[in-house]
Amino acid sequence: MNVQWSLRAQSDLADIRAYIGVDSVVNAGRMIDRILDAVELMRDFPESGGMLVEDERSDLRQVFVARYRVIYRIEVDRLLILSVLHGARHSSDHFD
């Protein structure tokens, strides 16, 4: 299955890299790599992520990577990565 990153999700990754990078560029790179690795696994197992508690739509899912939530939508021919949020943040305004 193809994976596509929304502009918001791309921006989220850049923000995560910048935030962690203030303390450690190495750790920032490692976290981004962990997130990208988790998304690669979802390519083969798109329904492995849990459904969102705060949204009743069955096409929206999430996986946790350390403290971050990767929120995505399963579509016919792709996974659309909608957002990557810190686990403490509410997701309601971060996807369509």
Residue 91 lies in a domain: no
Residue 19 lies in a domain: yes
pLDDT in tens, 7-62: 999 999 999 999 999 999 999 999 999 999 999 999 888 888 888 877 666 788 99
Residue 93 lies in a domain: no
Q: Report the distance separating Cα 86 and Cα 92, nearest Å.
A: 13
Question: For the chain, first and last CA: distance in Å?
Answer: 21
Cα 47 to chain centroid distance, Å, stands at 14
Q: What is the pTM of this model?
A: 0.85
Into how many domains does the chain fold?
1
What pLDDT score does 1 carry? 85
Q: Report the distance separating Cα 91 and Cα 83, nearest Å.
A: 8
**Beta partners for residue 74, in sequence order:** 79
Mean pLDDT along residues 75-95: 77
Output the six-digit token pair for 46: 């798109």
Q: Is the pLDDT of residue 87 over 80?
A: no
What pLDDT score does 13 carry? 97
At 14, which CATH number?
A: 3.30.2310.20
